[in-house]
Structure 1
Amino acid sequence: MKKWSRDGDIVVGRFDRQEAAVVRGLVSQIQDMLLARAEEAPQDELSELTGIRTGPSTAPDDPILGRLLPDFHRLDDDAPDPGDLDSAAALRSLHEPELLDIKTGVAGVVLDTCPPDGGEVRLRPDEAEAWLASLNDVRLALGTALDVNDEMPEELPPDDPRSPHLGVYHWLTWVQETLVEAVMS
């Protein structure tokens, strides 16, 4: 892939077949995880009557989903107050469905606009914003899985099983960075 560029209001990129497969595969995996989480939402009669959906009141057990769907109210890890626990559960239950809709929606935009066999990608401003959000979600998920932190070297030893995946993480960082530059220019 070459850097993203601008053609008037349109942001243009080009992916070869393998790059498109990587982007589509990772975005699809994140979308599937988020949709599975949405299926965990409790079914309640009031929700069906009012149309106001509620989500799970507890944080996901999976660390990747936990990173993508953080608490809406930060708790004191040492001694959480029972009122804070209730508040965190209520906020998650109320706001997580909307967050899931947003995240699965931006993933859908990427899947709709990234050609399966590679090729040119032309994005309107709203689609470029969706790509940025979705790439961010993929990088957060991959970074969590790889345990990326400030002390991690740019390259891992070849025998480290995370080594090839770290290269994908760095490539996605570059794709996102050049997209930001194109959007901002």
Structure 2
Amino acid sequence: MRTWTRKNTFGGMRLRSELDAHEATVLRSLVTSVTGLLEERAASAPTDELAALTGMRTGNTETPSDAVLARLLPDFQRADPDAPPDPEQGNVNSALRGLHEPEIIDDKVAAGAVILETVPAEGGKVALTPEQADSWLVGLNDLRLALGTNLGIDSDTPDELEEGDPRAPHLDIYHWLTWMQDSLVQALAS
């Protein structure tokens, strides 16, 4: 992938880059996997009688058991490690999750859809409007969160893993996504 550049055109500002065929395939595959997880989570939401009466959508009230989904859809409030346990906090998180998770999932899936719509399947030039670039930033961040969770990336993870470590190729993809996201932020900010 080439560094993102910012170009002013008669149709407005565009952010441009280019992906080779392999990069396009990897990016499309990652987006499809993450959006698939999110769509499965949305489909698993229980039906709610009140929602059926009011037309108001509700989602799951439980924190996802899958580590990737838990990272993509974290609790709304986290316990203060120095405070005594508060039994009400779980109720607050459940209520907030039930109300807001469907919209959050919709936004994440929509961001993934923008990436899939703008990445040529066989690679090639990519030109984004500022709104599409914002969706790319959301989608790339979700990809990094998902991949980082699967790889167990934390502040102690080295930039390069030892030869033979099965996570090494995936860490390279994580770094590529990080670079792509940073390059896009720099182009937007210039």
Q: Which residue of 2 aligns with 1:3?
A: 3
- The alpha carbon displacement at 1:46 in A equals 2.2
Which segments of 5 or more consecutive residues in structure 1 lack a partner in the other structure? none
Q: Which residue of 2 aligns with 1:53?
A: 57
- The alpha carbon displacement at 1:48 in A equals 2.3
**TM-score with structure 2 setting the length:** 0.93
Cα-to-partner distance string for 1:15-43 (whole Å, 9 max, x where unaligned) = 00000011110011000000000011111
Tell me the distance in 1 between the aligned counterparts of 2:62 and 2:22.
38
Q: Is 1:67 the equivalent of 2:71? A: yes
Q: Which residue of 2 aligns with 1:91?
A: 96
Instruction: Give the letter for the 1:54 counterpart.
Output: T
Cα 1:57–1:80, aligned 2, differ >3 Å: closer, same or farther? farther
Q: Which residue of 2 aligns with 1:18?
A: 22
Q: Which residue of 2 aligns with 1:126?
A: 131
| Mean CA deviation greater in 61-70 or 50-59 | 50-59
4+ aligned runs moved over 3 Å, structure 1: 76-80
- The alpha carbon displacement at 1:158 in A equals 1.8
Cα-to-partner distance string for 1:130-162 (whole Å, 9 max, x where unaligned) = 000000000011011111111111111121110
Tell me the distance in 2 between the aligned counterparts of 1:165 and 1:39.
29
Which segments of 5 or more consecutive residues in structure 2 lack a partner in the other structure? none
SS of residue in 1 equivalent to 2:122: coil
Instruction: Give the letter for the 2:171 counterpart.
Output: L
Q: Which residue of 2 aligns with 1:28?
A: 32
Give the superposed CA RMSD.
1.3
**TM-score with structure 1 setting the length:** 0.96
Equivalent of residue 116 in structure 1, options 109, 115, 121: 121
Percentage of matched positions with identical amino acids: 49
- The alpha carbon displacement at 1:73 in A equals 1.6
Instruction: Give the letter for the 1:37 counterpart.
Output: R
